[in-house]
């Protein structure tokens, strides 16, 4: 049982780092996206991500453990990919917005899979209070991915060559 709890704490630490990085990234991306609705959605996502951070911190409290930070390399790679994309040339605002939406969708899917995994771990350990907090984060991620997909679908026709 000790190894399973250690594995859960490691995963939660990785997710905590991911959420903290994403909160910062989403706030930055809200400044570069085009369109008031998309801008507002990114700002809203920054706020929900901060709530997700608080939920993860509460999980550590519920588990009577100190957060164990481990750098989330997946988010680091996406950050570097974004920076490379912007350096390659001067992109039209719509292309940058589409790139940011696609990036947000990928990150959301990654986090959804991570939350599904840690929820199962918490449930297996009988940590129901922790699992409830994680399910809240999962629901927020699923809603965000749907919203981002809708924005991407609406923006795609504008990017097609005529």
What are the structural domain ranges in the chain? 2-156
Under a CB-based contact definition with an 8 Å cutoff, are residues 137 and 115 in contact?
A: yes
Rounded CA separation 24/83 (Å):
14
Cβ 114 vs Cβ 11: under 8 Å: yes
Element (H, E) at 30: helix 2-30
pLDDT of residue 43: 92
pLDDT of residue 112: 97
Name the residue with tokens 């790679």.
77
Q: 2-156 — its CATH code?
A: 1.20.1260.10
- Nearest C-alpha neighbor of 70 from the set 113, 3, 9, 155: 9
Query: How far is residue 117's CA from residue 92's CA, in Å, rounded to a whole number?
Result: 38
For the chain, which ranges sit under pLDDT 70? 1, 158-162
| Full DSSP string of 102-139 | HHHHHHHHHHHHHHHHHHHHHHHTT-HHHHHHHHHHHH
pLDDT of residue 69: 75
pLDDT at 159: 58
């Amino acid at each position: 049982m000790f190894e399973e709890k250690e594995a859960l704490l490691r995963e939660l630490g990785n997710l905590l780092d991911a959420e903290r990085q994403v909160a910062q990234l989403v706030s930055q991306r809200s400044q570069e996206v085009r369109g008031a609705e998309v801008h507002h959605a990114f700002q809203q996502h920054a706020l929900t991500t901060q709530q997700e951070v608080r939920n993860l911190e509460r999980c550590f409290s519920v588990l009577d453990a100190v957060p164990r930070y481990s750098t989330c390399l997946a988010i680091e790679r996406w950050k570097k990919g974004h920076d490379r994309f912007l350096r390659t040339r001067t992109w039209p605002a719509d292309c940058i917005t589409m790139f940011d939406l696609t990036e947000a969708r990928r990150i959301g899917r990654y986090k959804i899979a991570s939350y599904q995994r840690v929820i199962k771990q918490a449930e297996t350990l009988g940590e129901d209070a922790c699992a409830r907090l994680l399910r809240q984060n999962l629901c927020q991620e699923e809603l965000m991915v749907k919203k981002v997909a809708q924005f991407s679908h609406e923006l795609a026709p504008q990017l097609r060559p005529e």
